[in-house]
Structure 1
Amino acid sequence: MTEGLFPRERAVVAPGAVHVPGWLSPARQRELVAACREWGRGPLPYRHTVLPGGGVMSVRSLCLGRRWEPYRYLPDVAVGLPDWLAALGREALVEAYGEHGGFTPDTALVNFYDAGARMGMHQDKEERSGAPVVSLSLGDTCVFRFGNTENRGRPYTDVELASGDLFVFGGPSRFAYHGVPKVCPGTADAELGLTGRLNITLRDTGLPGPSSA
């Protein structure tokens, strides 16, 4: 994907919410896509999550480390959270905040969006830790809607997240509502070899128990 007339610039979207365009190099993006494919061949492949009310999420997801299901974390681990991915999360926080604060993620949620997938406005609030959330984007560009901590409506800011972008939210914005109202098909670089969008989010649940198989 080209940068257009003007290069995209780093932005503080809200206090504690930082967008760093193009943080992942093309080589690192390809490595992550390959890893996401390999994880999907494991014991817990990508699946459409069924919500308690019977609704089915349009994204397909899998968990590394501590497993999440609506709306809780399970005590067991089926696929370990790789040390290198946790280390990448700490690098991301250094990039966003200048330090990682001892970030020790014990779960990663990998979401795959096809052209029609969406994510409604929600909070990441099942964690007992207030550590920041690290989000990495791969593949097609999406519209990422970053809102407030009080409700799903306005005020919110729409941010375009392209392949390789980093988005971190913590501090006053840790429990802000956020979602993905739109994916832009065909916007990924063909050399990435990915049709659709992958999003990896790293979190520290603050819960006791193992994070690796």
Structure 2
Amino acid sequence: MNHEISNQLKQNQDIRENLKFLAENFSGKIVFSTSFGIEDQVITDVIFSQKLSAVEVFTLDTGRLFQETYATWDKTQIQYGQKISAYYPNNKKIEGFINENGINPFYESVNLRKQCCHIRKVEPLQRALKDVKIWITGLRAEHSPNRNELEILQWDEQYELYKYNPLLHWTTEEVKDYVTKKGVPYNVLHDQGFVSIGCAPCTRALKEGEDFRAGRWWWEDTSKKECGLHS
């Protein structure tokens, strides 16, 4: 990526202009991954409202998502009249994993949980990012202490591409404000105390005083709870 493009993204705070700029320069090589969380819905609105067809919007359907997440997916496609691609786990691998370890083995050990995440999320993501140069994400620094060192634009060694995190420094209030003013559909679980929403068996609402990441894999005693999608 040349310095002109890099400077444009780092210095310009208008994500509408930046996403349009990227779509024009990396047509067919740029994707956005959504899990239908409220911040992802902001980016989806920017892409779909500007009809940036050069950007593929996709999601990872793990097979264990909340019904409310599927409802958000459906409402989003209907409201904008545009499709969101889906990537699924390899059926043989997930069948083998479940037949060997049971339906909910992730509660038993961190290792089994990470194996489940790898099959259901990481491998499908690897397929989705094949030949991609720019990966747009909805990562926000508020969501995890591990994300404080991220940059708005950075090289990702794991996938060998540039990752663009346009909402990295947005606050929760700014995200909610945008969604409310624009009438963007969002996951109703956010109104029930859910902040970071993943698979149903691995996500719960936050209790008063808990940090943003406490609702994910809450049974694990670790401060670095990630699924492996973002190294």
Identify whether the pair has TM-score above 0.5, normalized to the shorter chain. no
Bigger fraction of residues in helix: 2
TM-score, normalising length from structure 1?
Answer: 0.27
State the TM-score, normalized to the length of structure 2: 0.26
